């Protein structure tokens, strides 16, 4: 069953955000502080530990009338970003719900991700472009790649120096974020 109401997709997006926030740092093995001996551990099994029971809606963020295609949360858990089929990138402060930046990409935003240091974010678009943005200002830093076919997925390496992207050309390409130079095609 397909439901095409924008409000439904906004609710799904917010639910995903709430789940991510609730599960951040969750571990099914917990050490109790009330244990009689400091070295005693209590293992909480998945049948008794249910992190979703602690979910709490933080904010309802008005994305837009187009369907949201991609969301990401910054490494410091302060900012949430969304990208839509309508080409809008929106960045919010998670705690206050304040809209920090709104960027019109001009094509559907297929993937959005934050760098490990949280200073930049990258987008992949239906127009085949991979772009790097500054989080603080929302300004474009550089276009890393322009491909003829759509790019569906983008992610940073753990050191933040390389971007991996995948798309309709059936390749994974590794790009240097400083120069945009193609490092390897897998």
163: domain CATH number?
2.130.10.10
Tally of domains in the chain: 1
CB atoms within 10 A of CB 68: 23
Each residue of 114-161: pLDDT tens digit? 999 999 999 999 999 999 999 999 999 999 888 889 999 999 999 999
Structural domain includes residue 32 = no
Q: Does any domain span residue 50?
A: no
Q: Does residue 40 fall inside a structural domain?
A: no
For the stretch 23-47, pLDDT in tens is: 444 433 333 344 344 444 444 445 5
| 152/185 Cα distance (integer angstroms) | 16
> Is 31 domain-assigned?
no
Residue 76 DSSP code = T
Q: Are 88 and 101 in contact (CB under 8 A)?
A: no
Could you tell me the pTM of the whole model?
0.69
**Contact (CB, 8 A) for 130 and 107:** no
In a domain, 139, yes or no: yes
């Amino acid at each position: 069953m397909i439901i095409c109401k924008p409000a439904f997709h906004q609710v799904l997006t917010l639910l995903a955000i709430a789940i991510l926030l609730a599960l951040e740092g969750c571990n099914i093995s917990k050490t109790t502080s009330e244990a009689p001996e400091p070295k005693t551990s209590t293992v909480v099994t998945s049948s008794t530990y249910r992190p979703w029971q602690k979910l709490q809606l933080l904010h309802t963020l008005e994305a837009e009338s187009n369907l949201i295609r991609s969301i990401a949360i910054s490494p410091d858990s302060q900012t949430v970003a969304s990208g839509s089929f309508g080409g809008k990138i929106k960045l919010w402060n998670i705690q206050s719900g304040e809209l920090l930046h709104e960027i019109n990409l001009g094509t559907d935003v297929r993937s959005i991700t934050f760098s490990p240091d949280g200073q930049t974010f990258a987008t992949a678009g239906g127009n085949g472009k991979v772009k790097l943005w500054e989080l603080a200002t929302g300004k474009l830093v550089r276009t890393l790649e322009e491909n003829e076919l759509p790019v569906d997925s983008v992610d940073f390496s753990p050191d933040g120096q390389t971007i991996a992207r995948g798309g309709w050309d059936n390749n994974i390409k590794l790009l240097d974020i400083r120069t945009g130079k193609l490092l390897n095609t897998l």
